[in-house]
Structure 1
Amino acid sequence: MQEPDQPSTARMIDHWLGGRHHFPVDVAAARAFEQAYGPCAPVFRELRAFLGRAVGAIAATGVDGFLVFGGGVPTMGNVHEAAPEATVLYTDVDPVTIRLGQRILAGSDRAGYGFGDATDFGTIDRAQLHRFLSGWGRRPVGVVFLGLAAFLDDATLTRTLDELYEAVAPGSYLAIDFDTEELAGYPQALAMMGPQFRMRSPSSFRPLLGRWTPTRDGIVPVTRWRPEGPVPAVPDAFHGGIAVRSTG
């Protein structure tokens, strides 16, 4: 694969997680961000651990199909590894990441990768959707929506989540996270995130979910969402949780 000339957040995260599916341009960008903010690996390890716990909790309800938006690099504990008995369709908008994901998942009959813009559900290939999520619209699924809310304004995020609510079957689950105001104290790092990046206060998270109903765990710092041991001392850069589409 030809090396890209622009970094990707997905591949930067792979670097921070200790993966091997990234390029020098991604490592350089990751190191520049760390100079402006501080060590990122512990924060993203906890975010990936939250993904694993959330996906595992959804799978434990009997859901056996997941649709992932902003799928990133499908390794280092990503969805199909967290729920090995499930089928998974990863989607992203970055062509380099999509090709990388397709190469990693080549030969898998349980996980696939394709283009998909969360804000335009029609961009997902319907053949892939029905191949990896059989019974789409009739059987509950898990929707993974991590790392995206910070790059959508309130109106777009609310509309997108409402369209997903309408598209999935009753009893489906949504795993979601939100960026807190952590970067407000690091203006250089904040500038690197670009003008679309939106920090939000925890009190603003719940209204943006619309008709999706959070579980009793709530939307909390990801380290405190059903922790499996002592809560690590890392910045509360992300809050997250699971929400449900009602069966009524």
Structure 2
Amino acid sequence: MERPSWAPEQIDLDLPSAARMYDYFLGGSHNFAPDRAAAQAAIGIIPELPAVMRANRAFLRRAVRFALDSGVRQFLDIGSGIPTVGNVHEVARAIDPQARVAYVDTDPVAVTHSRALLADDPYTVVVEADVREPERLLADDGLRATLDLDRPVALLMVALLHFVGPADDPADLVRRYGRALAPGSLLAISHGTGDGRTAESDAMLRLYADTANPLTARTRDEVAALFDGFEPVEPGVVFLPLWRPDEADEVPARPERFCSYAGVGRKP
């Protein structure tokens, strides 16, 4: 496969990436043939998958607006992915032009494009780091120059923690991030589940096992446990489309078909 000029040398073009598959699901162009093939295979398992990804993006927008309505003006978006329409800074700036955002990802394509897009933006930073290294990530000079961790921050872990396996203890990771945040900070999580779609979930786990980002599905109770140290915001942890839908959002008759939970918590 010929390497495009925008593709960093260190990435493996033959190994599908969750970030580039997500870009494909959302109609983006920064993906490769193996990403598209894996994404199409995933759609073969769950035909609603593009709609699920759009619903996930809609949840991100609603969580950002909720944070702004709550007085939070700083955002830490871990697993931010490849820039697409409706990024955190775009949603936030519609309400507060000086809202500050730190984008974090491990995918070099996502980082490269985010940095190019935001090069002239004084209120954003793009950090290449791994969610599994909280102390290192939070100590990044660019992040510290952009966000004031002594003031409330909205920590966004949207469609991220299902890529963290049990051995890395995602609940402990979230607690470590939470300890570094000021009271009044918010935590927004969306997370894949097999609840309601066990057979499809098992097939999806097998598919993603052959990508750079294997999946771990979790139950509602397991997702709710990730909010330890945060007080749940109504309506709690619910299927993805049911978290405070806007009037313009389509609420499906069978929300469990969206195979994801979502919730927001506040640090007391």
TM-score by length of 2: 0.83
1:167-226 Cα deviation digits (max 9, x unpaired): 011110001112111553124333012295222221332223211111122011120111
1:83 is paired with a residue of what secondary structure?
Answer: helix
Match of 1:165 in 2: 178
Task: Indicate if the aligned counterparts of 2:187 and 2:266 stay in contact, CA closer than 8 A.
Answer: yes
1:35 has 2:40 as partner: no
Give 1:9's aligned amino acid.
Answer: A
Tell me whether 147-156 or 92-101 shows the greater mean CA deviation: 147-156
Tell me whether 141-150 or 102-111 shows the greater mean CA deviation: 102-111
Match of 2:204 in 1: 189
Task: Indicate if the aligned counterparts of 1:221 and 1:236 stay in contact, CA closer than 8 A.
Answer: yes
Match of 2:237 in 1: 219
Task: Indicate if the aligned counterparts of 1:173 and 1:245 stay in contact, CA closer than 8 A.
Answer: yes
How far, CA to CA, are the matches of 1:52 and 1:208 in structure 2?
21
User: Considering only aligned residues, what root-mean-square deviation do their CA atoms show, in Å?
Assistant: 2.1
Q: 1:105 to 1:25 in 2, by over 3 A?
A: farther
Q: 1:2 to 1:204 in 2, by over 3 A?
A: closer
How far, CA to CA, are the matches of 1:49 and 1:146 in structure 2?
11
**Corresponding pairs, count:** 244
Match of 1:130 in 2: 144
Give 2:205's aligned amino acid.
Answer: L
Task: Indicate if the aligned counterparts of 1:17 and 1:76 stay in contact, CA closer than 8 A.
Answer: no
Deviation of 1:6 (Å): 2.6
How far, CA to CA, are the matches of 2:31 and 2:244 in structure 1?
30
Match of 2:17 in 1: 8
Give 1:213's aligned amino acid.
Answer: E
Deviation of 1:104 (Å): 2.3
Q: 1:74 to 1:111 in 2, by over 3 A?
A: farther
How far, CA to CA, are the matches of 2:45 and 2:108 in structure 1?
28
How far, CA to CA, are the matches of 1:220 and 1:198 in structure 2?
18
Match of 1:201 in 2: 219
2:144 is paired with a residue of what secondary structure?
Answer: helix
Task: Indicate if the aligned counterparts of 1:10 and 1:73 stay in contact, CA closer than 8 A.
Answer: yes
Mapping for residues 220-239 of structure 1, pairs under 5 Å: 220-229=238-247, 230-233=250-253, 235-239=257-261
Task: Indicate if the aligned counterparts of 1:154 and 1:208 stay in contact, CA closer than 8 A.
Answer: no
How far, CA to CA, are the matches of 1:200 and 1:2 in structure 2?
33
TM-score by length of 1: 0.89
2:258 is paired with a residue of what secondary structure?
Answer: coil
Task: Indicate if the aligned counterparts of 1:146 and 1:175 stay in contact, CA closer than 8 A.
Answer: yes
Task: Indicate if the aligned counterparts of 1:184 and 1:190 stay in contact, CA closer than 8 A.
Answer: no
Mapping for residues 58-137 of structure 1, pairs under 5 Å: 58-84=67-93, 85=97, 86-124=99-137, 126-133=140-147, 135-136=148-149
Structure 1 portions without partners, runs of 5+: none
How many percent identity over aligned positions?
32
Give 2:260's aligned amino acid.
Answer: F
Match of 1:141 in 2: 153
Task: Indicate if the aligned counterparts of 1:115 and 1:123 stay in contact, CA closer than 8 A.
Answer: no
How far, CA to CA, are the matches of 1:101 and 1:245 in structure 2?
29
